[in-house]
Structure formats: structure tokens, C-alpha cells
Chains A and B, each alone.
Chain A
Amino acid sequence: MGSEALDSFVIKIAGKNVRISTRFPDTAMKYMKDYIVPEDSFDIDAVVSDGELRDIMSELSAENAALGEITNLYRPIAEKMPFYDSVVFHGAAVEYGGRGYVFTAPSGTGKSTHIALWQKYVGDVKIINGDKPILKAYDDKTLVCSTPWAGKEHWQRNVSRRLCGICLMCRSGEDNKSSIERIVPKDALDFLLNQTYIPQNPESLVATLGVLDRILKVVPVYKLTCDISKDAVKCSFEALTGEKLD
């Protein structure tokens, strides 16, 4: 089945129009409703091929086919975004005081838990995206932009905010003390590369490295070692925002 035979609609993410072609238009449009624009022109064409869907389906039951297709539609987008100064990033992005902050760590470390604690203890913290925000590099700033792909909780709001800090997260060990330090970008590279979408397309991979370099020139990076506690929130909040948390 070619993409011509599929239903399609256009969404706007990180300032770019993306045509979504899908076998499950009702489910896909519901999932992406906050991003749909009434336009026909597009910069990026996103479709999951029959072969790719078959690979996905071998691991999923039939009723999950729609979700399988939808969750994999971000890949063709992530392949193209580096050509538009953007990378798809694995992390949980929040907004506080109009500024964006991203917490990043391998799945299961506790990103969602940590941002939920920010909401509980700081207040006035709004989710931007819980799983796959896009980081878009400009010369003097980086924006963190939401996407429909937002993890199992589907925490997302269609907004873009200036990114004012990237926080690498590690679980604290036996002593359960939380600590945070600002680190030089070079020391964060391996961690960040693991959390950045690495394109199959070599030219896109080269572009990805360029985007990362530009982001790391303007956005401070911190390493947080934490447990699940108010103390952990105090630690990251005060370092990232420069404000006090009582």
C-alpha cells in the first residue's frame, strides 16, 4: 500500500508541517488532535510502510495495530527534523515561569515521577511533553517544542518554550542523598547522544551532530543524582531556575 491509498492529514510540530498518512485515521487524528492544522502543504511526509507495520505487528495484538502505527510515525519525522535545525529528544519537558526545562534519563529512571513531584511541590509547573519533545536550535537560543508523542501517560501541551536547562538524571544509591552539579557539555555528550534520536540516514546524522553542538553552546547542562523526594525537587529546582524552594 502506497501513502496515496491512505488517509492523510497535516500536523504542525516544531514549526514544520508534517503530513501524516495512516491506516487508522480516527485513532490517529484523536491522538494528534492538538497539532492538526487545516493546511495541505507540508515539509515532512510521515508514513509507516506495510513492511515496517508487519514487523511491529508481529509483537502486538491486532487491536493494538493502530497504536503500533501511531507510535512509529514519529520515526520518519525524526529522520527529517535535523535538516530543520531540530532533533527529537527522549526526555520529560516542563514549563515554569515561561521557561522550559528538560529532564532526561533512560526509561524507568523516574523522569515522569520527578516532574510530577515538581508539580506537587513547586506549583505553577506545566507539562510541555512527557516523553519525546523536539529541541530546535537557533543561534542565540533553543526551543523545546511539544509533539503528540508523549509516552504512556500522554502528558503533552502544544506549546514551545525557550529551553533554559537540560538535566541528566541518575538514581541515587544507598545513601539516598540528592545532589546536582553543572557539567561541561563535553562530559554530557555520551549521555545526550543516547537520548537523542540517531537517524539511519547518514546525512541526517551529520546534521544531528550540528544541531546538538548548537544546543550545547547556549543551554546549560546539569547532572542530578536523586531519589523520590521533596529534597530531590528542591535540588533540581533551585539549580535550574536560580530560585529558592521552601
Chain B
Amino acid sequence: MRIKNGFVLRDVAGQTMVVATGEASKSFHGIIKLNPTAKDVWLWLSEGKNEDEIAALVCGKYDVAEEQAKADVGAMLRKMEEAGFLAD
């Protein structure tokens, strides 16, 4: 699982935004806003980390229980998949 090529992350006035260019722009137009946790998940995913590794990283960085981290990361990844942001 990886993020499709072409998504570009930009911080505007402290708000993280994602825009699709190139390959990714064929399936998505517009601007995605990410909160700080979502930004971390996005960046870890683009570094090639898998779902379990990302959940462990979220657990370590933020004060959340392992179960909660797994559920939240899973939910975000499913959302990204449904939106067409991910490739195999």
C-alpha cells in the first residue's frame, strides 16, 4: 500500500494541505486539509511504513492507547483508499 505519485504537501499559515498533481490529479481535484496527526500518518505512509508500523508510531508520539491508535489509523487509511489516494 502506498500513496499515489503526485500528491504534494504544503503548509499554508500553519495548516497542512495536500494537492494532487500528475498521476494523482487524474483521479482527484481540489485541496485536502490535514490535521497534525493526519499529516504524520500521511508522511509515514509516504516513507513506506505499513499500517501496524504507523499505528505504533502514532502510539509513541501521541498519548493514545494502542487499540485506539490502530482504529484511528485504520479508519484514515480506509478513507484514503475510498478517495482513491492509494495504489497497491
Residues of A within 8 A of B (CB): 184-186, 188-189, 193, 202-203, 205-206, 209-210, 212-213, 216-217
Please, which residue of chain B has its CB at the minimum distance from the CB of A209? Answer: B10
B10 in contact with A210 (CB, 8 Å): yes
B83 on the A face (CB < 8 A): no
- What are 23 A-to-B residue pairs whose CB atoms are below 8 Å? A185-B13, A186-B13, A186-B15, A189-B12, A189-B13, A189-B15, A202-B6, A202-B21, A202-B25, A205-B19, A205-B21, A206-B8, A206-B10, A206-B21, A209-B12, A209-B19, A209-B31, A210-B10, A212-B12, A213-B10, A213-B13, A216-B12, A216-B13
> Which residues of chain B are near A206, meaning CB under 8 Å?
8, 10, 19, 21
A-side interface mostly: helix
B38 on the A face (CB < 8 A): no
A185 in contact with B25 (CB, 8 Å): no
Query: In whole angstroms, what is the CA distance A202 to B4 when docked?
Result: 15
Return B54 CB to nearest CB of chain A, in Å.
Answer: 25
> Which residues of chain A are near B25, meaning CB under 8 Å?
202
> Which residues of chain A are near B14, meaning CB under 8 Å?
185-186
- Residue from B8, B13, B19, B20 having most chain A Cβ neighbours under 10 A: B13
Please, which residue of chain A has its CB at the minimum distance from the CB of B10? Answer: A209
Residues 1-45 of B at the A interface (beta carbon under 8 Å): 6, 8, 10-15, 17, 19-22, 25, 31
Of A184, A202, A216, A217, the residue contacting B19 (CB under 8 A) is: A202
